[in-house]
Amino acid sequence: TKISVVHCFYFRGGAELLFDGVKKHQVTLPCQPEPWDIRNLLKWIKQNLLKERPELFMQGESVRPGILVLINDADWELMGELDYKLRDQDNVLFISTLHGG
């Protein structure tokens, strides 16, 4: 049987403003037949956590340019980006590097 996995998602640099100002979300993802990857995670975040202005967080099926994604403190570009398979207790950090004026 598949077990659900617990993850922490962090939003910083202004990204938390799209999530009701909450910087840390501890989440148990629902069980599914295939392992969760970042692509599916982003869809889930958009449907379940994102509170406003999804265009400031998502572009297509990925994050917008200007959103830095770290998986366990490593740049997601080194981890396979959207194809990275989440493991139990992974920490995923989203940092907005865009600053409006």
Give per-residue pLDDT as tens, 47-85.
Answer: 999 999 999 999 999 999 999 999 999 999 999 999 999
pLDDT, residue 11, reads 94
Q: Which domains does the chain have, with CATH numbers?
A: 5-96 (3.10.20.30)
pLDDT, residue 87, reads 87
Q: Which residue has the higher pLDDT, 6 or 26?
A: 26
Query: Is the separation of the CB atoms in 10 and 23 below 8 Å?
Result: yes
pTM of the predicted model as reported, rounded to 2 decimal places: 0.88
Tokens 């640099």 map to which residue? 13
Distance CA 31, CA 40 (A): 12
The shares of helix, strand and coil residues in the chain, as percent rounded to the nearest 5, are: 25, 30, 45
pLDDT band (50, 70, 90) for residue 2: low
Tokens 């938390």 map to which residue? 16
pLDDT, residue 5, reads 63
Angle at 34 between CA 6 and CA 1, to 5 degrees: 70
